[in-house]
Amino acid sequence: MMKLKTLLLTSSVAIGLTGCVIPMDRTYYKPDKSFGEAVASQSCGYQRTKLDALRQSFDGYSVQVEAERDGRNGVMLSISTTVDNPSLNINDVSFDNTKVRVVQPISRSGLITKYAFQQQSDASIWLSRTFLLPDAPFEKVIELKLDSGAVTMGDMVSEEMVFRFSLTTTFDVLYFSINC
């Protein structure tokens, strides 16, 4: 009996430390790879569909966009920019929200800014903006356009960029771990 308790306790601890795996269907906005490089938005989570964001890289900066459903409210659009220029100060880099437009669907109302964040490390500056596209929880296609100059980096401005996502449901495995 004692061996069984020890085995169960050891198994429980091992499972807790290694993680939890849950098979499930995932409905998400799949990135269209013809509009950039598909990248993971987070290190843990879904396995088959982990490449759920798009990144476009340019000389000295990159922009990453993720579209995700926000319950019944609409679609959250997260935009993060990394500027790799050690000669710039965080005050030299800015994001112009007015140069972010939803191309598809034709927006019934404008984007609502939910969160804004900036951070500087030794060699990089990171800007993040999260927008809500209201009343659009089941749109089949989301296409977002950042006009030229959406990001200003000293004397340089960002190029025009377009990102596209399609609502998709597929089988996946959700993974959680104490290390995530």
In a domain, 180, yes or no: no
What are 118-153's pLDDT values in tens digits?
A: 999 888 999 999 999 887 777 899 999 999 999 999
What are 1-51's pLDDT values in tens digits?
A: 667 666 556 555 555 545 688 888 888 999 999 999 999 888 777 778 888
Domain count, the chain: 1
The pTM assigned to this predicted structure is: 0.83
Q: What is the CATH number of the domain that holds 8?
A: 2.60.40
At 167, is the pLDDT very low, low, confident or very high (cuts 50, 70, 90)?
A: very high
The rounded distance, in Å, linking the Cα atoms of 26 and 173 is 9
Residues in the chain: 180
The domain in which residue 80 lies consists of 2-175
